């Protein structure tokens, strides 16, 4: 069977606005993966360049500012499904730290970074879902965390072969495949991962953002620190 | 308005068998600070890539993991054997693969023992310590007077949908009347796995592949560690440089260079 993708994206990358329109297909024959562009076009929704530009300008000065709005139509066999993504990636720096923000609310992190008092080690941390999920989705992290926290894949969306992503305990081989681009052979991966709620949440510093080098920016009762980020810190 | 057109074919071969093949093509038009890109095809560029890949296929070692890449008709081969890789061309693949087969990746711990950078590998050290700071317009530190580093910087991009960045086109390290004494107690650096430069901390990281170890040092520490050099620049088999997710081949050459160890 052939996988096809039609996509349109507008991206702000450090002051340059990039508009891209492309389509391609991929197939696997006797274990060999082939991918190539296709000339066929389908109607796609418009992308919101205004939102991209306004969001990027509102973020202001940073080492890296990438804002994207993308729309895509995927097809695998008889299944077709649309996708829309809005992403923000910002790197803020205050020597010696580089803070990575993958969220529209950059101002909160910027203000916290300005108040950071230094580095401090904490026994436990509270990691909000939007920061924890990308860490947990890659197999290695999921396995590392698995011993101390039970994880689950939440239902939502379709995987790289058009199959619904269903609720599933993170255990053993992932049932779904991740296909970030038509040019990439799909790989098994857990998606929409979160820790299964259990027990009582203890008071602990809250992670505001990740810091380059395996660290995190945390708010500890109104005081801000950078701390090492270890999987066993998950409550 | 400037226009950029790209065609690229890459193939992955595992132990002599084709595993993956990709065709990529597109065109980008730049107007001020805006780029409009699409996957428009340039038949001549695609044909040039097909020819280059055909030229590379006969040189695929049957026991290796090999990636063939042609961009607009050029040719680059990444060959990996026993977890160590080189980047080469059909012209040099036989001698480079002989080098790859001749080395043993024993693990060493960083130590104060001097390093002798062979096979042009010092080009990677100076790619990180001099090339990347120049890309970013960061002021130089004081380098030895005998050291010469030619690394032209141009606007380059990996794909039609990328923003062009100031990138090195090559790194040619040479020496003029450098001191040189081969230390009796030394570690010979044969091949380098990769490196990085962080402008925030001014720290260079080098992952040496043969023998296996990693060290970190500031640019000032790297400059102070350069003890001497000998001979003409030698082609290093492979630097694929990645910045902002854009991978580009950078031709790299260096003479034999001796540095202090980075413990």
Q: Among A18, A19, A183, whose Cβ lies nearest the Cβ of B22?
A: A183
Task: Find chain A residues with C-beta within 8 A of B38's C-beta.
Answer: 20-22
Residue B53: count other Cβ atoms within 10 Å of its Cβ: 18
The confidence score (pLDDT) of residue A146 equals 45
Distances (CA, A) of B162 to A16, B32, B42: 10, 15, 18
| 3-class state of residue B27 by DSSP | strand
Segment B192-242, tens digit of pLDDT: 999 999 999 999 999 999 999 999 999 999 999 999 999 999 999 988 999
Please say if the pLDDT value at position B260 is more than 60: yes
- The 8-class DSSP code of residue B59 comes to G
Segment A105-129, tens digit of pLDDT: 999 999 999 999 999 999 888 888 7
Q: Among B20, B25, B163, whose Cβ lies nearest the Cβ of A18?
A: B163
For chain A, what is the mean pLDDT? 90
- The 8-class DSSP code of residue A231 comes to G
Could you give the CA distance from residue A40 to residue A10 in angstroms, rounded to a whole number?
A: 20
CA distance B62 to chain A (A): 17
**Residue contact A14–B163, C-beta within 8 A:** yes
The confidence score (pLDDT) of residue A131 equals 81
Q: Among B18, B41, B163, whose Cβ lies nearest the Cβ of A13?
A: B163
Long-range Cβ pairs for the range A170-173 (8 Å, 24+): A170/A136, A170/A142, A170/A146, A171/A146
Q: What value does the mean pLDDT take over residues A119-146?
A: 70
The confidence score (pLDDT) of residue A200 equals 73
How many Cα atoms occupy the beta-carbon half-sphere of B177 within 13 Å?
1
Could you give the CA distance from residue B42 to residue B247 in angstroms, rounded to a whole number?
A: 22
Residue B238: left if φ>0, alpha if ψ -120 to 50, beta else—which one?
A: left
Could you give the CA distance from residue A184 to residue A189 in angstroms, rounded to a whole number?
A: 14
Could you give the CA distance from residue B171 to residue B154 in angstroms, rounded to a whole number?
A: 13
The confidence score (pLDDT) of residue A231 equals 64
* Percent with pLDDT over 90 in chain A: 77
Choose from B4, B14, B15, B37 for mutation: most chain A CBs within 10 A.
Answer: B37
Give burial (CB, 10 Å; 0-12/13-18/19+) of A222.
exposed
Could you give the CA distance from residue B174 to residue B255 in angstroms, rounded to a whole number?
A: 6
The confidence score (pLDDT) of residue A202 equals 75
Q: What residue of B is the nearest CA neighbor of A185?
A: B20
Segment B22-77, tens digit of pLDDT: 999 999 999 999 999 999 999 999 999 999 999 999 999 999 999 999 999 999 99
Q: Render the burial of B209-224: b for 16+ CB within 10 Å, e for the rest.
A: bbbbbebebebebbbb
Indicate the pTM of the whole model: 0.90
**Residue contact B200–A98, C-beta within 8 A:** yes
Does residue A95 belong to the interface with chain B, where contact is any CB pair within 8 Å?
Answer: yes
Does residue A183 belong to the interface with chain B, where contact is any CB pair within 8 Å?
Answer: yes
Q: A137 near A154, Cβ under 8 Å? A: no
The confidence score (pLDDT) of residue B110 equals 74
Which has more pLDDT, B189 or A147? B189
Bridge-partner residues for B144, per DSSP? none
| β-strands A215-220, A151-153 pairing | unpaired
* Percent with pLDDT over 70 in chain B: 100
Choose from B24, B33, B39 for mutation: most chain A CBs within 10 A.
Answer: B39
Q: What value does the mean pLDDT take over residues A76-100?
A: 96
């Amino acid at each position: 069977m052939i996988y096809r993708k039609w996509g349109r994206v507008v991206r702000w990358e450090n002051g340059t606005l990039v508009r891209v329109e492309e389509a391609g297909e991929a197939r696997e024959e006797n274990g060999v993966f082939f991918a190539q562009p296709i000339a066929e076009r389908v109607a796609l929704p418009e992308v919101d360049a205004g939102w991209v530009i306004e969001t990027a300008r509102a973020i202001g000065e940073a080492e890296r500012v990438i804002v994207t709005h993308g729309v895509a139509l995927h097809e695998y066999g008889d299944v077709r499904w649309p996708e829309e993504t809005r992403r923000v990636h910002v790197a803020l720096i205050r020597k010696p730290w580089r803070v990575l923000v993958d969220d529209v609310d950059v101002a909160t992190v910027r203000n916290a970074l300005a108040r950071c008092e230094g580095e401090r080690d904490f026994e436990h941390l509270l990691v909000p879902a939007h920061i924890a999920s990308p860490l947990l989705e890659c197999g290695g992290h999921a396995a590392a965390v698995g011993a101390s926290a039970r994880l689950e894949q939440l239902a939502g969306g379709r995987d790289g072969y058009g199959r619904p992503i269903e609720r599933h305990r993170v255990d053993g081989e992932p049932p779904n495949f991740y296909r970030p681009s038509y040019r990439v052979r799909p790989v098994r991966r857990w998606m929409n991962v979160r820790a299964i709620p259990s027990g009582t949440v203890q008071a602990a510093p809250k992670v505001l953002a990740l810091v380059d080098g395996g660290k995190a920016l945390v708010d500890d009762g109104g005081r801000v620190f950078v701390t090492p980020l270890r999987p066993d810190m998950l409550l | 308005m400037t226009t950029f057109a790209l065609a690229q074919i890459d193939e992955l071969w595992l132990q002599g068998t084709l595993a993956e093949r990709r065709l990529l093509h597109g065109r980008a038009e730049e107007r001020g600070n805006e780029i409009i890109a699409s996957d428009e095809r340039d038949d001549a560029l695609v044909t040039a890539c097909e020819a280059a890949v055909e030229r590379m296929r006969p040189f695929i070692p049957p026991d290796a993991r090999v990636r063939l890449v042609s961009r607009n008709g050029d040719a680059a081969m990444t060959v990996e054997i026993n977890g160590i890789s080189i980047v080469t061309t059909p012209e040099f693949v036989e001698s480079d693969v002989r080098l790859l087969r001749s080395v043993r990746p024993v693990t060493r711990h960083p130590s104060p023992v001097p390093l002798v950078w062979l096979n042009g590998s010092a080009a990677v050290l100076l790619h990180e310590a001099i090339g990347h700071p120049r890309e970013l317009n960061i002021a130089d530190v004081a380098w030895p007077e005998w050291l010469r580093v030619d690394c032209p910087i141009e606007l380059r991009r990996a794909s039609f949908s990328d923003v062009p960045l100031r990138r090195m086109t090559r790194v040619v390290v040479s020496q003029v009347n450098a001191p040189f004494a081969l230390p009796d107690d030394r570690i010979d650096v044969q091949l380098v796995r990769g490196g990085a430069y962080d402008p925030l901390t001014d720290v260079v990281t080098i992952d040496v592949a043969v023998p296996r170890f990693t060290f970190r040092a500031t640019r000032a520490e790297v400059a102070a560690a350069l003890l001497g050099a000998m001979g003409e620049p030698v082609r290093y088999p492979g630097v694929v440089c990645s910045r902002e997710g854009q991978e580009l081949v950078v031709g790299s050459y260096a003479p034999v260079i001796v540095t202090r160890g980075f413990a």
